[in-house]
Chain A
């Protein structure tokens, strides 16, 4: 079962990386951005599990290692295909 985890900084936690990227985009002419925050995608392929079992196991992985609950929130989605949906170019 393929699972996609999105880890994001919690609202209110300053995202200095996002601020730097936003500034760089402004330098490229993208000055219309109100906000930009950077997160992480973690793709997990769990062997021999139902969607519910896979979500439970990956939730446990998030609590034990993948996210730091002081700083980060996460979402867990089962997906059909972990490959990117759109090519980069």
Chain B
């Protein structure tokens, strides 16, 4: 599977994603500068975490209107996969590729900690190797990760089963205490109705080797690799 890792001025997780894809998964991967529009060489485009354009105006706002993100619309329409983590999730929401918005953590603190995520939707190429209700451990690292959407949007997310991950306790129960940032309904990650664009605040690339504290993030990458079929399309289940 051919990966592109997008780099904006201020991106910081690009090298981590590149390392995991090339050195752990042994897949072809290239950096993609934010001014580029050519995404045809890739099966999956990654929008990594960081502070794109300094997060000026709002987190992900300027990046959400950049040339490479404008090109994502066509890429997604042709069936390409997009994974946005942390700032990447903020960018996808600002660009309108996912509904809702990420805003300042309710606790007023930047939170850099390990979290438990309960898997809610396994009907995506990113999660098809997981079980519904499975609990994953991954770090978060953000100051603006509180997911918010209006009541109609939230109802649609639930009705169409578009919430992929929720913050949870170690046993998988979704509690207020396990919500690190005040996200609506403990939402940690959502997907588009086609299942091809996933945005999540946690960092799977920082949970992909035992040496750095866990491999639950790798399970997502392995799902992805197992989802690509010969004609270039992707399996959900």
Binding site for B on A (CB under 8 A): 13-14, 16-17, 19-20, 64-66, 68, 70-71
| Interface residues in chain B, defined as those with a beta carbon under 8 Å from any beta carbon in chain A | 57-58, 61-62, 65, 94, 100-101, 103-106, 108, 148-150, 182
* Contacts A64-B65, A65-B57, A65-B61; A70 near B149 (Cβ below 8 A): yes
Q: What are 29 pairs between A and B in contact, CB < 8 Å?
A: A13-B103, A13-B148, A14-B106, A14-B182, A16-B104, A16-B105, A16-B106, A16-B108, A17-B104, A19-B108, A20-B108, A64-B65, A65-B57, A65-B61, A65-B62, A65-B65, A66-B57, A68-B58, A68-B61, A68-B94, A68-B101, A70-B100, A70-B101, A70-B148, A70-B149, A70-B150, A71-B101, A71-B103, A71-B148
Chain A interface secondary structure, helix, strand, loop or mixed?
A: helix
* Complex: chain B residue closest to A42, CB-CB: B57
Total CB contacts across the A-B interface at under 8 A: 29
Give the residue name and chain of the B residue nearest to A64 (CB).
B65
Residues of B within 8 A of A70 (CB): 100-101, 148-150
Cβ–Cβ < 8 Å partners of A66 in chain B: 57
Closest B residue to A10 by CB, please name it: B150
Smallest beta-carbon distance B95→chain A, Å: 11
Apart from A65-B62, A70-B101, A71-B101: 12 A-B pairs, beta carbons within 8 A = A13-B148, A14-B182, A16-B104, A16-B105, A19-B108, A20-B108, A64-B65, A65-B57, A65-B61, A66-B57, A68-B58, A70-B150
Chain B residues within an 8 Å CB radius of A17: 104
- A9 — nearest CB in chain B belongs to which residue? B103
Within the assembled complex, what's the spacing in Å between the Cα atoms of A19 and B149? 21
CA distance A20 to B106 in the complex (A): 11
Q: How far is the CB of A33 from chain B (nearest CB, A)?
A: 17
Q: In angstroms, how far is the closest chain A Cβ from the Cβ of B18?
A: 29
Q: Which residue of A lies closest to B58 (CB)?
A: A68
Question: CA of A17 to CA of B65 in the docked complex: distance in angstroms?
Answer: 26
Q: Which residue of B lies closest to A20 (CB)?
A: B108
Which chain A residue has the least Cβ–Cβ distance from B106? Answer: A16
> How many angstroms from the CA of A14 to the CA of B62 in the assembled complex?
23
Q: Which residues of A contact B58 (CB under 8 A)?
A: 68
For the complex of A and B, 6 pairs with smallest distance between CB atoms: A70-B101, A16-B104, A16-B108, A20-B108, A71-B101, A68-B101
Cα of A65 to Cα of B71 in the assembled complex, Å: 17
Q: How far is the CA of A14 from the CA of B103 in the complex (A)?
A: 10
Which residue of the partner chain A has the closest CB to B61? A65
B143 to chain A, nearest CB (A): 10
User: What is the CA–CA distance of A70 and B61 in the complex, to the nearest angstrom?
Assistant: 13
Q: Which residue of chain A lies nearest to B107 when distances are taken between CB atoms in the complex?
A: A16
Task: Tell me the minimal C-beta distance from B98 to chain A in angstroms.
Answer: 12
